[in-house]
Amino acid sequence: MYFPEYRARRLRRNDTLRRMVRETFLRPEDLIYPMFSAYGTGIKKEIISMPGIYQQSIEHIVAEAQEVYALGIPAVILFGIPKVKDAVGSDAYSAHGIIQETIRAIKKAVPKLLVITDVCLCEYTDHGHCGVIIDGDVDNDSTLDLLAREALSHAQAGADIVAPSDMMDGRVAAIRAILDSNGFSQIPIMSYAVKYASAYYGPFRDAAESTPQFGDRRSYQMDPANRREAFREAALDVAECADFLMVKPALAYLDILRDIKERFDLPLVAYNVSGEYAMIKAAAARGWIDEERVMLETLLGMKRAGADLIITYHAKDAARVLKGA
């Protein structure tokens, strides 16, 4: 097919034609909304580096969860800011920790909204790392028991899906074993299978108050330069019975999303992270970009690259636009 007989513009002539031949679609049902639950009452504190996103006490979290469900977004993912942090992140696996109580409150008020929980220790440790510190580094194997206990406590509180984000070797298997042996074999694991040591996480650390007090996370999160390593990480989690795979961040790793989609048949999640969100918000605030169009184009790009679901701070704004379209 060559010009002038073939003209690609024929199928772009008007909106109806463009919609008829559209290859990739973005729906509210594809989105997951992150929320930050803070210990206390009467708390609704906007995160300076993430306009429109808040640290909130449980009563405000519940109100926003109701809003999320009304917009057609099927799920939220919860992160916690506890009253007290300690060396082993005790609040993470306490029966009455901040996340456990938040789960109960949401499931009581909005029972059909799926509650996903981030399973990690960084939000709960006083040193800000994702596990137990031994000899100045995160000790992998002693951390596994605490992560498993955390996931079990979330399931017992009513979580629908648990999502380990710590990047410890063997954590999916440890979580699957403890869930299955305690009567929670029906609870899926959404593994942060491919999580890079990224500079795009900066605003999240403001939101979750989880900045490491020493060093960094490069001994357990992946090197941004590596592609083939992502296949090994994902394969390990598949072998350990993960139910979803995730790539985090998304925007600078669209090639990895496509790679994982082509190699594995599990549902694939992209995490549109805090730095990606903040860049759009900051540029839009200065009038440099059309926020709505760039937001939708960014999310659509993640879907086109292979994501089945997208965790995004844009979820509510995107759902409003998509429902109105």
Query: Does residue 236 carry a pLDDT above 70?
Result: yes
Contact (Cβ atoms closer than 8 angstroms) between residue 171 and residue 192? no
Distance of CA 289 to the CA centre of its chain: 25
Q: Is residue 15 part of a domain?
A: no
Query: Does residue 175 carry a pLDDT above 80?
Result: yes
The pLDDT of 194-214, averaged and rounded, is 82
Query: Does residue 209 carry a pLDDT above 70?
Result: no
- Please list, residue by residue across 242-273, b when 16 or more beta carbons sit within 10 angstroms of its beta carbon and e when fewer do: bbbbbbbbbbebbebbbbbbeebebebbbbbb
Q: Is residue 12 part of a domain?
A: no
pLDDT of residue 208: 65
Query: Does residue 106 carry a pLDDT above 80?
Result: yes
Q: Is residue 35 part of a domain?
A: yes
pLDDT of residue 121: 94
Distances (CA, A) of 305 to 17, 78, 129, 155: 23, 26, 31, 32
Q: What percent of the chain has pLDDT over 90?
A: 90
Q: Is residue 13 part of a domain?
A: no
From CA 94, how far away is CA 310, in angstroms rounded?
Answer: 29
Q: What percent of the chain has pLDDT over 70?
A: 98
Query: Does residue 210 carry a pLDDT above 90?
Result: no
pLDDT of residue 222: 94
From CA 132, how far away is CA 122, in angstroms rounded?
Answer: 10
Q: Is residue 158 part of a domain?
A: yes
For residue range 261-289, list pLDDT tens digits in order. Answer: 999 999 999 999 999 999 999 999 999 99
Place of tokens 């031994």: 134
Instruction: List the alpha helices (DSSP H) in the chain.
Output: 15-20, 58-70, 98-109, 140-157, 171-181, 202-208, 228-239, 254-263, 274-285, 291-305, 315-324
Helix (H) or strand (E) holding 253: none
Q: Strand 244-248 relative to strand 268-272: parallel, antiparallel, unpaired?
A: parallel
Q: Is residue 11 part of a domain?
A: no
pTM value?
Answer: 0.95
pLDDT of residue 274: 95
The pLDDT of 119-124, averaged and rounded, is 94
From CA 188, how far away is CA 160, in angstroms rounded?
Answer: 7
Q: Is residue 196 part of a domain?
A: yes
Q: Percent helix, strand, coil in the chain (nearest 5)? A: 45, 20, 35
The pLDDT of 174-188, averaged and rounded, is 98
What is the domain count for the chain?
Answer: 1
pLDDT of residue 157: 98
pLDDT of residue 325: 53
What is the CATH classification number for the domain harbouring 123? Answer: 3.20.20.70
Contact (Cβ atoms closer than 8 angstroms) between residue 281 and residue 51? yes
For residue range 52-89, list pLDDT tens digits in order. Answer: 999 999 999 999 999 999 999 999 999 999 999 999 99
pLDDT of residue 128: 83
Query: Does residue 247 carry a pLDDT above 70?
Result: yes
Q: Work out the pLDDT band at 215, boundaries 50, 70, 90.
A: low
Q: Is residue 163 part of a domain?
A: yes
Domain with 264, as residue range(s), is: 24-324
Contact (Cβ atoms closer than 8 angstroms) between residue 237 and residue 193? yes
Q: Work out the pLDDT band at 212, boundaries 50, 70, 90.
A: confident
Angle at 267 between CA 51 and CA 281, to 5 degrees: 15
Catalytic residues: 195, 248
